[in-house]
A = this chain, B = another copy of it.
Amino acid sequence: MQTIAFIGLGHMGLPMARNLLKAGFNLKVFDLVQASVDELAKEGAQAASSAADAALGADSVVTMLPASRHVEGLYLGDSGLLSALKPGTLVLECSTIAPESARKVHKAAAERGIELLDAPVSGGTAGAAAGTLTFMIGGEAAVLDKARPVFEAMGKNIFHAGPDGAGQVAKVCNNQVLAVQMIATAEAMALGVANGLDPAVLAEIMRQSSGGNWTLEKYNPWPGVMENAPASKGYSGGFMAELMAKDLGLAQEAAQVTASSTPMGALALQLYRLLLKQGKGQKDFSVVQQLFVE
């Protein structure tokens, strides 16, 4: 039975780790928050006292950390985790970070004979709990084949996006489109309602027409249009506006490297920052609807 070290037990990491446990993997877990470690220990995981302790003797390592600097801080440098891993260890780095940063960690891993994949997820905490996450994966196809059983215990759609860093690129591209179409939908809903339309009727017409998109399908930002959407529950739950701002910022970092022009994505970032200034960063990202209504 394979042993997996899981490092980073936050809102996403905890339910992901739990799904690995349920799938029968031996799990060694670490997080700076001891309570999260204890919680999983009660469910059968082995508590580790540090990231290195968790990784000791593990066949695979899964990490789920907040940002580029945490990932670089964990893996790189003379006392970094990559130096402690035995050659042949499989690393599934699932954090959402800058593609540049992912490529840097890939390079360092390759120099030490460690197989690493950048594998950011989408699907939110609900998808993490249900084991239905989408993984967008950068790295070698052969490595992905080995890692597939681990991914499948946590997710439903496992995409090979391309070479090192490609998982992160696919993620920021996807989330940039998502943010823009959420705002476009919110604008259109407000415009239509101000002009006398019933929000549910307008939402349904656009959903079935060429304006159709994922937000109209699953996640309408107008309160009451979809019973289970965050918009109908005070914009609670879901995917926080400040995390969307983070992802849009990563997209801009990637765009900076290639001098790519992304007017819609750039504007989306600025509008999310306006929301953050209004103290709405911890609301679901569909709260952008409130910019457009009185």
Contact = CB atoms under 8 A, between A and B. Distances in A.
Interface of A: 99, 122-123, 134, 136, 157, 159-163, 165-166, 169-170, 172-178, 180-181, 183-185, 187-192, 194-198, 201-202, 204-206, 208-214, 217-218, 245, 249, 251-271, 273-274, 276-277, 279, 291-294
A253 B157 CA distance: 34
Contacts of A160: 201
A211 to B, nearest CB: 4
20 contacts: A134-B209, A136-B205, A165-B196, A166-B196, A166-B197, A170-B206, A173-B206, A174-B188, A176-B211, A177-B184, A177-B188, A177-B211, A181-B181, A181-B184, A181-B211, A184-B264, A190-B260, A211-B214, A212-B214, A277-B291
Given A173-B192, A197-B161, A209-B134, A263 B270 contact: yes
A76 B46 CA distance: 43
A259 B106 CA distance: 28
B195 A258 contact: yes
Given A163-B196, A211-B175, A270 B277 contact: no
B177 A180 contact: no
Given A177-B206, A177-B213, 9 more contacts: A165-B196, A172-B191, A173-B191, A176-B187, A188-B265, A195-B257, A260-B292, A274-B274, A274-B292
Given A174-B210, A201-B161, A252-B256, A264 B261 contact: no
A68 to B, nearest CB: 12
Nearest to A270: B263
For the complex formed by this chain, how many copies does it contain in all?
4
B259 A274 contact: no
A140 to B, nearest CB: 14
A209 B174 contact: yes
